[in-house]
Every structure is written in C-alpha cells, then in structure tokens.
Amino acid sequence: MEQQVERLVTQLERRPAAAIRKALIRDKYLYLLLLPGLLLILLFRYVPMYGVVISFQDYNMYKGIGGSEWVGLYQFERLFRSPDFTEVLTNTIVISLYKLAASFSLPIILSLLLNELKSIVFKRFAQSIIYLPHFISWVIFSGIIITFLNPVDGMVNVIIRHFGGAPIDFLGDVRYFRSVIVLSDVYKEVGWGTIIYLAAIAGVNADLYEAARIDGANKLRQMWHVTLPAIRPVIIILVILSLANILEAGFQQIFLLYNALVYDVADIIDTYVYRVGIQGADYSYATAAGLFKSAVAMVLILTVNKIVKLTGQDGLW
C-alpha cells in the first residue's frame, strides 16, 4: 500500500493527467460512497449559500433569483438605518454576553465540586441527573417555565403571594425577561457544560495534590493553585469559542418564550429574520440581516482560530 502511494505520488509529479485518471479509476468505489452525502451537502448547504444573493435584489418569489431586480446595497442600507435592527443587534449581543458569563464560570465551579465527591456511585448518579435537562427539548422546557412562572397560578407566584408579595409577570415584563432567559439556559445546560472540564480535571497529576497538601494547602487552595492552572487551556478554548458565537443568543429558547410585550429586550437577529422574512415575506431584507450575521460569525471564528494558534495551542483546525 505504502509503495503504491509513493509510486502514485511520483506519477502525479511526472504525468498528472494520466495518474489522476488512474487514481480516479482505482478509487471509483470510494467516490461512489462519497456521492450521496456530498449531494446532500451541495444541495442543502451550498445552494442556500448561493441564495444569499437575493439580499442584493428585490426578490420576487414568482420571478426567482434569475428574474428579480438587482438593487445593490439597498437592503443593507435599510437594515443599518432601521432602529429595529440596532435594537435587535444590541439584544443579541447583550443576551449572549450574559449567557457567556454564566456558562463560563458556573460549569467550572460545578466540575470542581463534582470532582471532590469521593463516592464514585454518588458522583455518577449526580452527573446523570444534572445532565438530564440538556436532553429535554426547548418546547417541553419552555412549557415547564411558562407553567412555573404563570402570574395567576404558577408555583413561583403562589410562593411570592404566600409571603405577601405581588405576583410578577416574569415573561411579560421587560425588567425580568432577560434574567429568565439566562437563568433557564443555565439550568438546562450547566450540567452538560461540566463534561469537558471533568475530562480535563481527570487528567491532572494526582501527585500535585499530594504535594500541595503536604505544603499545607486546603481544598480551596488546591483548586486555585493546582486544578485551575491545569485546566486553563480548556477554559481558554471554550471561552474563545463562545466569543466566536456571540451572535447566537439561543434562537429556539427565545422564539418559544418571548411575546410582543418584551420584543424590546428579547428580539434577537434570528427571531427578527423569522418575523420579517417568513411572516412578513420581506425575503431580501431578512436575508440581508441573516447574511450580516453569518458574515460576522465567520470573521469571528477565523480570527479566534488565528488567536488560539498564536497562543501556541491547537486551533480548531
């Protein structure tokens, strides 16, 4: 096999066309295997990428991309002039940053504590339970949230009333909505977030703890001086990764929980694209908003990968 490859490589250098043809024939079955997946990717990933050209058009469903009128950057001008879009962009970034702060710190703390559980059986059991909400769909989970926060007979408000407070409409009040979004996201995902940190902690040399103990370090100091520095590379990568996703504020969650009362603080780019594009049928304008998001996301991911590599760690690719 090795020799074959070497022979092929030398052939490729000498007689490219013939060698390539030979390689194509030799690996014909491999190409056959590739085909169905490749077709699905080309059709459902690349055709929509081509479809973003309608953001430079005044797209008309009946005329199609070929027949619609080109309008240059008109849709983007509309977008950046629109006060709605400024608000939506702010909401997206603010909600994202709140979530980032929570999802950065809490899983680390939780995995440090999980790691200190001595009984393996109890540890496994605790993990199973705190991972569980991750697998429940947002539809079901939002149903739970709506039930618990209901201003009339939701459990939270029943308790508030019991202690003499006035009931609060958490999902219909701009003051509380974002907190509900961030807290419910933490509740659902914090356990799942510990998995990768636990794997990293498991790789820490146990002798280091022993040495720290002999030096008189208590649990807290051991965590601070041994565990945290050991898992720092993982922390850095995960934070940078979430920075790259700053325009993903959690579409499903917000779509299921928000309502017209709280659009001011809850509407994010994706929900805006859905309402303007699908419901309002303003396809070109909504595509421009979507394209803005995709483009920013791509630039962020490429930059982040570069930075990670510059810090001497393995990049994402």
Partner 1 sequence: MSLTRGERVFMALNVLFFLILMAVMIYPFWYMIMGSISDSSLTADGGLFLLPAGFSISAYKVVFQNVSILSGFKVTIVTTALGTFIGTFCSAAMAYPLSKKRLVGSKFLSLLVLFTMLFSGGMIPSYLLVKQLHLIDTYWAMVLPATMSAWNIFVMIGFFRGIPDEVEEAAKIDGGNDLMVFFRIVLPLSKPVLSTVGLFIAVGYWNDFFSSVLYATDKNMWQLQMVLKDLISNTSAAITQAGISIGVQQEVNPFTVKMASIIVSSLPILVVYPFLQKHFVKGAMIGSIKG
Interface residues for partner 1 in 229-248 (CB under 8 A)? 234, 237-238
62 interacts with partner 1 by CB under 8 A: no
Least Å distance, CB 153 to partner 1, is: 5
Spell out the long-range contacts of 75-83 with Cβ–Cβ below 8 A and sequence spacing 24 or more. Answer: 75/284, 75/285, 75/287, 75/288, 76/288, 76/292, 78/285, 78/288, 79/285, 79/288, 79/289, 79/292
Dihedral angle computed from the Cα positions of residues 236, 88, 259 and 261, in that order, rounded to the nearest 10 degrees: 120
- The answer to whether the CB of 87 falls within 8 A of the CB of 262 is no
Which residue of 169, 243, 255, 261 would you call a contact of partner 1, by CB under 8 A?
255
- The answer to whether the CB of 278 falls within 8 A of the CB of 128 is no
Which residue of 69, 77, 80, 122 would you call a contact of partner 1, by CB under 8 A?
122
As a whole number of angstroms, the distance between CA 317 and CA 304 comes to 11
Query: In this chain, which stretch among 84-92, 97-105, 118-126, 163-171 interacts with partner 1, using CB under 8 A?
Result: 118-126
- The answer to whether the CB of 136 falls within 8 A of the CB of 143 is no
Least Å distance, CB 56 to partner 1, is: 12
- The answer to whether the CB of 167 falls within 8 A of the CB of 151 is yes
- The answer to whether the CB of 286 falls within 8 A of the CB of 277 is yes
- Contacting partner 1 within 80-109 (CB under 8 A): none
Least Å distance, CB 209 to partner 1, is: 11
Which residue of 97, 102, 117, 204 would you call a contact of partner 1, by CB under 8 A?
117
Q: Which tokens sit at 32?
A: 């056959």
Residue whose entry in the numeric block shows the structure tokens 């459902």: 44
303 interacts with partner 1 by CB under 8 A: no
Query: In this chain, which stretch among 66-74, 92-100, 122-130, 175-183 interacts with partner 1, using CB under 8 A?
Result: 122-130
Q: Which amino acid is at 229?
A: P
250 interacts with partner 1 by CB under 8 A: no
170 interacts with partner 1 by CB under 8 A: no
Residue 133 DSSP symbol:
G
111 interacts with partner 1 by CB under 8 A: no
Least Å distance, CB 283 to partner 1, is: 5
Which residue of 10, 18, 30, 229 would you call a contact of partner 1, by CB under 8 A?
30
73 interacts with partner 1 by CB under 8 A: no
- Contacting partner 1 within 141-160 (CB under 8 A): 142-144, 146-148, 153-155, 158
Least Å distance, CB 216 to partner 1, is: 10
